[in-house]
Structure 1
Amino acid sequence: MDRYTVISADCHAGADLLDYKPYLEKKYHDDFDTWAAGYVNPYEDLLADTADRNWNSGRRLAELAADGIVAEVVFPNTIPPFFPSASLMAPVPSPVEYDQRWAGLRAHNRWLADFCADAPGRRAGVAQILLGDPAEAVREVRRTKEAGLTGGILLPGTPPGCGIPELYSQVYDPLWAVCEELDVPVNHHGGSASPPLGDEPAARAVFMVETTWFSHRALWHLIFGGAFRRHPGLKLVLTEQGSGWIPGVVEMLDYYHGRLVAAAGRAATAESKFGAGLAASMGASPGEVWRDNCFVGASFMRPHEVPLRDRIGLDKIMWGSDYPHDEGTAPYSREGLRIAYAGLPPDEIAAMVGGNAARVYGFDLAALDRIAATVGPTVEEMAEPLTEVPADATSPAFAPGGSVRVW
């Protein structure tokens, strides 16, 4: 092995706004024209001259290859039709608007299937769904799997007050069942579960502090809800939420699980009521569920998280560049990899930068190895510690200091 095969487990893409129209059912075309004519994009990066990195396939392949990356898991980025923003949890005040937004997500998924087909074997597209109608979500999972999207689904969050059942509810069992049946990973991306906080300076700061915690909630909701007992083949991927929090949180979940299960067998107490039926409904402990069913899209993994890799699970960690976001490592992904992984055994690096993602998302690693043979970071290069951070690097991967997050 002279070079590493790097698969970014966290990249983002989407169509330019008007380019979604051909992917909408025709009955929505007039509504789309009206909506698009008055729409004001709220995101500066989607108005800049670099916005086409989201949809320009040739530019994207070239920039990723120059960055040492041969394949990518593709999460959404641009605005789907009929949405006020990229958030899947925007309020839905009427059945008509809800129907339109489903149409918008289906249009994105169709576009994404074509975008992935433009680079065979190098893109695993993540399909979008809504949770308000689990039967419709199941139909879209089947359709997108058949259309060739191999990145699984993007699981929306259920923030407090959003009006739909929490993720621990068994109302979602048909969704977990079809994902298990078709081997479709369930991805939960950071930032997709926070409640609206407003736009004051304090609100923005609070969002930064809390957003990963709200995303982490999917882990304990699905565990305590028994989703993995009823669907033991289900795969959950937590992406761009950091990774240093995982050992402590899994240990905490194990503690509460053991405490409540033990209390349930005692005389009537407050805790015995909280723990009643938990062992039977959950099955395995949280630690066992993490070991058997869960993975982390450890975007631009930072140096302070790397010593925890054995406790997280070396077979769980999937590095990501977050291209094309400015908090991502591009165009300094080689340096981002070095600052995190220099000095580690090559087999461990190979697993975290590509091997694990190939296994979870079904990439043909042998085929990608042939591409990496000319563009991948060399083993010699990766062994050299990074001594100087690029002056114009904007990723938190290069931030000085850092400690394990309590979340």
Structure 2
Amino acid sequence: MPLQSHMHLISTDDHLIEHPKLWSDRLPKKFLDAGPRIIEKVMPRSVHAGDGARGDAGTKLAEVWTYEGRIYPYIGLNAVAGKKPEEFGAEPTRYEDMIPGCYDPAARVLDMDIDGVQATLSFPSFPRFAGTVFLEAEDKELALLSVKAWNDYHIDEWCASAPDRLIPLVILPLWSVEECVKEIYRTAAKGAKAISFPENPSPLGLPSFHTNHWDPVFSACEDTGIPLCVHFGTSGKAPITAPEAPMAVMTALFGCNSMYATADLLFSPVFHNHPKLKFMLSEGGIGWIPYMLERMDLTWEKHRFYQNINQTVRPSELFSKHLFGCFIEDDFGIKNRHAVGIGNITWEGDYPHSDSNWPNSRKRVHDSMLHVPDDEVHQMVELNARALLNFPRT
């Protein structure tokens, strides 16, 4: 049996739903009204019509986030763990619409036990996966306090409730490199193991990877040994082809965000200036990686001489040292794992989102690796993640 009992299954990409008082429990009193909080609001109710289409069926009293007077309606962000695909559709709009493992760490660990998952790294929901809600804030003092509040909750409450099972990830105040650096060192001292960062800063109005703007951030990551997780979609630029295209087009193409990030980083100065830096391509899949590396190497061989790109190191060499692909289900990628690099692959569960296989993740991983040698299975499902995240067995 390839996924043997002594092998721990570690997910490098899950998600948590913030509990209603996360910020009100931590922000100064003067910021409580403007800070993130849950209110009830009448919202349109969408249902499945008999022919599979979506129809409007009046309204419902929903729980929504409000922040600086803006409304963020979907508290659940596709929190559909445990539902059948036929039941997917409207996002949960009340906590009672979700299973408790979405927002309660004790219940999450129980759900991990059911799923056969030993440890998990969880991204934010309300702040978006890389905290870019706070980048949009009008009051940057409040925004900075809100970033710190999420990080403190995640480290001190969520992960501290089961430190051998829940892996601390933090977000950054992206509008200030100086504050980013401070937050990296502050949270590293508290036990942070990963940092969520935009896959492409440029669409967010931030300087790109091709500038030296982020050098102090990357140096702080090298100094603390913390990898950056670039979850697809964190750029805020979804890969949609036309306004009329169904969401299925965007969902099928989301891995392209990780492809863009890979090409962007490998042709940038980032890894040449920061030889110890690591990036994780969260939820990007791995099947595309061999082709992209081949294509980038060919581009480098033929076109490097007249462009402002490194002339001596092939993109594929940089990939093997700095980038890690993360997959949920990727049978093609598993078959071509050596072209990706066994040491550059981690597994992810995506709980409680619609791509998750909960409560059957361990079985699905087992079945997908029936013909993979035990040592390679162990490396992909556990050992790579433990080394990358500095999260040893206890």
User: Which segments of 5 or more consecutive residues in structure 1 lack a partner in the other structure?
Assistant: 265-271, 368-407
User: As a proportion of its length, which structure holds more helix?
Assistant: 1
Q: Aligned with 2:121: secondary structure?
A: strand
Question: Is 1:190 equivalent to 2:232 in the alignment?
Answer: yes
Question: 1-side partners of 2:225 and 2:129: how far apart?
Answer: 26
Please, which moves more after superposition, 185-194 or 241-250? Answer: 185-194
How far apart in 2 are the matches of 1:317 and 1:310? 10
Match of 2:121 among 67, 73, 90: 73
Number of aligned pairs?
344
State the shift of 1:86 in Å.
Answer: 6.1
Against the structure 1 CA distance between its residues 117 and 67, is the aligned structure 2 distance closer, same or farther, given a 3 Å change threshold? same
Q: Which residue of 2 aligns with 1:30?
A: 33
CA distance in 1, matches of 2:130, 2:272: 30
Partner of 1:362: 390
Q: 1:170 aligns with which of 197, 200, 212?
A: 212
Higher strand share: 2
TM-score, normalised relative to structure 1: 0.77
Shift of 1:236: 0.9
The answer for the alignment partner of 1:306 in structure 2 is: 334
The alignment status of 1:288 with 2:317, answered yes or no, reads yes
CA contact (8 A) 2:203 2:235 kept: no
| 2:47 counterpart residue number | none
Using a 3 Å threshold, how does the CA distance of structure 1 residues 313 and 38 change in structure 2: closer, same or farther? closer
**Does 1:323 find its partner at 2:365?**
no
- Partner of 1:17, secondary structure, is coil
Aligned pairs for 1:2-401 (under 5 A) are: 2-32=5-35, 35=66, 39=71, 41-42=73-74, 43=77, 44-45=91-92, 47=94, 48-77=96-125, 79-80=126-127, 88-89=131-132, 96-114=138-156, 115-150=158-193, 152-158=194-200, 161-195=203-237, 201-202=244-245, 204-261=247-304, 264=305, 272=306, 275-276=307-308, 278-279=309-310, 284-298=313-327, 300-365=328-393, 367=394
Greater alpha carbon shift after TM alignment, 306-315 vs 215-224: 215-224
Distance 1:86 1:181 in 2: 24
| Structure-1 separation of matches of 2:362 and 2:321 | 31
Deviation at 1:98, TM superposition (A): 4.6
Deviation at 1:75, TM superposition (A): 1.7
Distance 2:249 2:130 in 1: 18
Change (3 A) 1:6 1:162: closer
Post-superposition offset of 1:41: 2.5
